[in-house]
Amino acid sequence: MEDNEYILEMSSISKSFSGVKALDDVSFKVKKGDIHALLGANGAGKSTLMKILSGILHPDPGSGDILLDGERTVLSNPSDAQRKGISIVFQELAVLRDLSVLENIFLNREIVRGGFYNWGEMRKRARAIMEDLGIDYDLNTKVADMSIAQQQMVEITKAVSTQVKVLILDEPTSSLAEAETLILFDMIRKLKSRGVTIIYISHRLDEIFELCEMATILRDGKFIFTKPLSEVTAAELASTMIGREINSEFPRRKRQPSEDVILQLNNMTGRSRFSNISLELRRGEILGLAGLVGSGRTELGRAVYGEFPLASGTIIYEGKETVIRSSDKALSLGIAYATEDRKYDGILARRPVVENICLASLENYKKAGLFLSRQKESEAAAKEISALDIKVRGQDQEIQTLSGGNQQKVCLSKWLLVNPKILIFDEPTRGIDVGAKAEFYHIICDLADSGTSIIMISSEETELIGLCDRIVVLREGKKVTEMTPYPGCLDELSHYMFGLEYTKKDVEGTSHGSN
């Protein structure tokens, strides 16, 4: 096979942080016009390798070479990488939320004529790109007012506007429902047809087999193999990534939920995002909220947590009508919320792991006045790091240097330390590898078995069916139905989410979550 078939070749790349090797002599090459999967468990080195490719990080001195279109290249910084045709869309989006869609697309690349920004030309080019990609957003919309899925489309539009040759997509569907995923897949195929090479990072193996031709696996910072996907199975990929066999079954619940209702929502209406929603949550129950992006799931969860204003409706908590207008009030009642967007409001990126773990439970570590006992914080953090198997070099490591899955575990540990009565999970397994997902599923079920009530918002229908005792389906801000999941109910759930009529078949079963 001739070298000129490859648009990208990375050879013998190593990268160390504080003496710990994140990448150890890794080689990676991609053919022109391919959609190439880069796979591995959280912490395998995928993000580090791609940050080197996009100019954010640099290899260890004397380590390896990068060839682009057959020519050796040095990628000094992200702008340099973009000029050479390499763009990346991270799972943790880099949009500026207070700017408009148009301002984000041309950020630091504004078109200037006569010393002034030529907004007309930028608008024209942005519309042409979006039309070509099959999306249509108001260019004046403030990005903060868009869903995570829409923000991601803005990032991809920005990347494509740079005359991209190699586009890196890091967990691009982690916050997308099925409809949005189909739009993204169509966009990716259009880019491929125009000769763009895609490096696709995902933990969803069904997507890998649908989109990609080749797959490269990293494990523990080392190259394992590159193979055509036609030569491997999903099970082989999963076990190779983790280094052991994966039990993909959802855990069986040890206890049934109580009949005691801990939370009751009556005719809840929140601005224009949801209206007249009523539901009940029982002690020890896992209640799923299903729906497409924009259905109001997240806003409803945030309203229970006091972070989304209600226009009308009542909350009955432990038998008493309760007003919750702030997260402080929610936490004082024993209600915690694990956010979907950990980068924006889930972590303190530049602070150490120990501070992030103890952040929500600081009252437990006071020793005198306003002073905190570092020893107590360290002891609490050590227990959580051990219990959740969080991969860290030490408690003082900045959380932003952890892999996405380990950041997610730190977010979870923060809320476990407050011993909540109700824990709201918003996309709890977003961007987490198959092994870590199985761990999270066990944690969620163990919490419910211990009496904690769970509200679980997820875009993965199989996850909701496998874990939840009941599922409430929302569509366009309204409650469509409430169902008890049963084996084979994916078709029914999907029909309700998409607003289609569904004729019940003669299928009987019980909730997976309560088996």
Do 127 and 182 fall within a single domain?
no
* Shared domain check, 168 and 150: no
Residues 345 and 375 in one domain: yes
90 belongs to a structural domain: no
* Whether residues 236 and 185 fall in one domain: yes
Token pair belonging to 123: 């608008």
The CA distance from 286 to 108, in Å, is: 45
Residue 234 falls within a domain, yes or no?
A: yes
Structural domain that includes position 104: 96-154
Domain edge (last residue) among 106, 129, 154: 154
Domain annotation covers residue 181: yes
Residues 19 and 71 in one domain: yes
pTM of this prediction? 0.62
pLDDT tens digits along 437-471: 888 899 899 999 999 999 999 988 888 999 999 99
Please tell me whether residues 67 and 116 are part of one structural domain.
no
The whole-angstrom separation of Cα 110 and Cα 156 is: 17
Do both 290 and 205 map to the same domain? no
Burial code (b: 16+ CB inside 10 Å, e: under 16) for 266-300 equals eebbbeebbbebebbbbbbbbbbbbbbbbbbbbbb
Nearest to 34 by CA among 197, 225, 191, 216: 197
Residue 367 domain-assigned (yes or no):
yes
Question: Any idea how long the chain is?
Answer: 515
Give a yes or no: residue 264 inside a domain.
no
The count of domains in the chain is 3
Q: Are residues 172 and 274 in the same domain?
A: no
- The answer to whether residue 40 sits within a structural domain is yes
260 within domain boundaries: no
Residue-by-residue pLDDT tens, the chain, 515 positions: 444 689 999 999 999 887 778 899 999 999 999 999 999 877 788 989 999 999 999 999 988 899 999 999 999 999 899 899 999 988 777 788 899 999 999 988 888 988 899 999 999 999 998 888 878 889 999 998 887 778 888 888 888 888 899 999 988 887 676 777 888 898 899 899 989 999 999 878 888 999 999 999 998 899 999 999 999 988 788 778 877 655 556 888 888 999 999 999 999 999 888 999 999 999 999 999 998 777 899 999 999 999 999 999 999 999 999 999 999 999 999 999 998 766 667 788 889 999 999 988 888 888 776 788 889 999 999 999 988 888 888 899 998 888 777 888 898 899 989 899 999 999 888 767 677 788 889 989 999 999 999 999 998 888 899 999 999 999 889 999 999 998 888 888 888 887 777 776 544 444 444 44
Whole-angstrom CA distances from 142 to 91, 139, 147 are 20, 8, 11
From the list 273, 305, 219, 286, the residue with the least C-alpha distance to 445 is: 286
Phi, psi at 309, each rounded to 5°: -70, 140
Helix (H, G, I), strand (E, B) or coil at 52: helix
Q: Is 100 a domain residue?
A: yes
Please state whether beta strands 366-368 and 371-372 pair in parallel, antiparallel, or not at all (unpaired): antiparallel
Say yes or no: 140 and 182 in one domain.
no
| Amino acid sitting at position 361 | S
CA distance 204 to 209: 9
Q: Which long-range contacts (CB under 8 A, 24 or more apart) does 223-226 make?
A: 223/25, 223/26, 223/27, 223/28, 226/28, 226/29
Q: Is 279 in the same domain as 406?
A: yes
Decide: 159 and 81 in contact? Cβ < 8 Å. Answer: no
Q: What is the pLDDT of residue 508?
A: 42
- Same domain for 400 and 459, yes or no, is yes
pLDDT score recorded for residue 177: 67
Give residues with Cβ within 8 angstroms of 91, minimum separation 6: 170, 171, 172, 174, 404, 430, 431
Q: Which of 242, 257, 278 is the last residue of a domain?
A: 242
Cα separation of 174 and 245, whole Å? Answer: 24
Q: 221 and 110 in one domain?
A: no
Residue that terminates a domain, selected from 242, 277, 293 = 242
The arrangement of strands across the sheet holding 166-170 comes to 86-89, 166-170, 197-201, 35-39, 214-219, 222-228
Query: Alpha-carbon distance 168 to 283, whole Å?
Result: 43
CA-based R_g, the chain, Å: 24
CATH number at residue 226: 3.40.50.300
